[in-house]
């Protein structure tokens, strides 16, 4: 899981692979308040995490997540 070992790795995935640059402070912002966030970004993020970190994210939990930080937590804990 070296490709997603740190918060900086996650921010890099968001920026470079998803095309959604955010600051660390924005990671706790609820999705409905995150300017420009949409379901396409979510799909890209899940795909990028699963490919880069080689971890499977449970779809139900991802859909229940309220922020990018919650998804990061799932990705690093498996």
Those residues whose C-beta lies under 8 Å from the C-beta of residue 22, and which sit 6 or more positions away, are 11, 14, 15, 34, 68
Would you state the pLDDT for residue 78?
67
Take residue 54 and report the two structure tokens written for it: 């080689």
Of 71, 70, 28, 67, whose CA–CA distance to 53 is shortest? 71
* pLDDT tens-digit series, residues 20-61: 999 999 999 999 999 999 999 999 999 999 999 899 999 999
Residue 21: domain span: 2-77
48: domain CATH number? 1.10.1200.10
- Answer whether residue 1 shows pLDDT above 70: no
Domains held by the chain: number: 1
């Amino acid at each position: 899981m070296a490709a997603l070992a740190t918060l900086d790795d996650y921010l890099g995935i968001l920026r470079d692979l998803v095309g959604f640059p955010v600051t660390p402070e924005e990671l706790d912002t609820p999705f409905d308040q995150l300017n420009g966030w949409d379901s396409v970004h979510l799909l890209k993020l899940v795909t990028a995490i699963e490919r880069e970190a080689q971890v499977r994210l449970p779809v139900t939990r991802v859909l229940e997540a309220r922020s990018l930080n919650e998804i990061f937590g799932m990705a690093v804990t498996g």
